Amino acid sequence: MEIGDSIPVLGSWFYLHFVENVGMAYGMTIGGSWGKLALSIFRILAIGGIGYYLYTIIIKKYHSLLIISISLIFAGAIGNVLDSAFYGLIFSESGPITLATMFPDGGGYAGFLYGKVVDMFYFPMFEGIWPNWMPFVGGDYYLFFQPVFNIADASISIGVAILIIFQKKFYTGKKTVYTEDEEEI
């Protein structure tokens, strides 16, 4: 097996695939090293804001599903920041034919907050060719669910999905407070 190969876990439906993500979601980047620093600082500030919001909704005993969804987003954000902050400090840089080593003699490949985030879950569910009548993509090849992601990304996505699905229950203007028995007051 070589670097960049995928390890099948469930046939052709789920693979472990090592990717070092230099930016944010789907590998998007902004402005080189200054952009990476700005992104890292933004992530830390966002974690502070999410943590404060989580603290207030716990104290005010908001709906437990809202607390769970915000907790998932909070935990995922912390995981990605920790990866970005420390991965570059403790690993050497990997390449197409070289594997990263932990605690290399010369130190890691990047400074604090400049590391990459490791993604590893790949779910190529199905593939095909777009019908010719489709505007812009007709006749093109597609692979459904191509992104490679990690547990932190999944945690954030699940938390956001819960917020979207149950937003009317959480944010209707009427505050629902629950007792310790989870009975609505």
Residue 9: CA atoms inside 13 Å, Cβ hemisphere, count?
Answer: 9
Confidence at 5, pLDDT banded by 50, 70, 90? confident
Tally the domains of the chain. 1
The catalytic residue among 105, 119, 140, 181 is 119
Q: Tell me what the mean pLDDT of segment 34-55 comes to.
A: 92
pLDDT tens track for 97-110: 777 889 998 889 98
Q: Residue 42 falls within a domain, yes or no?
A: yes
Say if residue 137's pLDDT is above 70.
yes
105 is catalytic: no
Q: Residue 182 falls within a domain, yes or no?
A: no
Say if residue 177's pLDDT is above 70.
no
* Mean pLDDT of the chain, nearest integer: 86
Report if pTM > 0.85: no
Tell me what pLDDT residue 26 has: 61
Give the range of the structural domain holding residue 80, as residue numbers without chain letter: 8-170
Q: Residue 184 falls within a domain, yes or no?
A: no
The catalytic residue among 5, 83, 105, 153 is 153
pLDDT tens track for 46-65: 999 999 999 999 999 999 99
Q: Residue 120 falls within a domain, yes or no?
A: yes
Q: Residue 80 falls within a domain, yes or no?
A: yes
Q: Residue 132 falls within a domain, yes or no?
A: yes
119 is catalytic: yes
Say if residue 175's pLDDT is above 70.
no
Q: Residue 36 falls within a domain, yes or no?
A: yes
DSSP 2-55: -TT--EEEETTTEEEEEEEESSSGGG---SHHHHHHHHHHHHHHHHHHHHHHHH
Show the tokens assigned to 71.
């907790």
CA distance 54 to 171: 15
Consecutive H or E run containing 151: helix 151-165
